[in-house]
Amino acid sequence: MVAQASMSGSVLADGSPMSSVEFSGSLVKKIKGKQYQAQVFAKGDRLRLEYKYAIRTERGYAAIEIIRLDKSETWYLLAQQKEFLVTGLDPDDLLPISQALPGEQERVLVGDATAAGRAAKLFEVQTDHHGRVERFYEWVDVETGVVLKLVSRDREWSFEYERFRLSSQPAYYFDEPQGYKRRMTATTPQGRG
């Protein structure tokens, strides 16, 4: 199973806990020629993404997204309105944190590699997720087991950490922001990476 967080922490998709890795990093995600950048902060089952460019929501633009796997929620901070928009997690729009991918059918170790300046293992992985077969190259950090880079062989899609640093993260990064009003929504924001 896979531990995941959004990119528009960690427990495995089957609900079992993953080791409590804390880190920060600069993430770049590419989809069909478009590039999305975010600063990522991770603490166990919580993730905070600070986007270089804000993402559009039904109530305005949000530059910060907080993923709370423990609550199965994503929060989008709307600073101008002093609100945070709450949506449920969409399993199909989650960023892999641990090496097992949803619908994984086959995994082959290619060899030793480097990603984000760290020692990694390079794997070739095949998945069958919702009836769609896809092949990936995946770079997994040797020390932590965190996915540092993932490239689809079948689509124009990839993500990678340009910088990855193990460091403790303050708990308040992942808490409900003080003075902000909570708003529920059923729609997913647009313009996500």
CATH number at residue 95: 2.50.20.10
pLDDT in tens, the chain (193 residues): 333 444 443 333 333 344 589 999 999 999 888 898 999 999 988 999 999 988 888 888 899 999 998 999 999 999 999 999 999 987 666 777 778 888 899 999 999 999 999 999 999 999 998 899 999 999 999 999 999 999 999 888 899 999 999 999 999 999 999 999 999 987 666 554 4
Strands 46-57, 60-68: pairing is antiparallel
* Angle, CA of 178, 179 and 184, to the nearest 5°: 90
What was the pLDDT predicted at 127? 93
- What is the number of structural domains in the chain? 1
Q: Is 106 part of a structural domain of the chain?
A: yes
Q: Is 192 part of a structural domain of the chain?
A: no
Amino acid at 113: A
What was the pLDDT predicted at 19? 53
Residue 145: strand, helix, or coil: coil
Containing structural domain, residue 48: 4-184
Q: Is 190 part of a structural domain of the chain?
A: no
54 exposed, middle or buried (CB, 10 Å; 0-12, 13-18, 19+)? middle
What was the pLDDT predicted at 23? 96
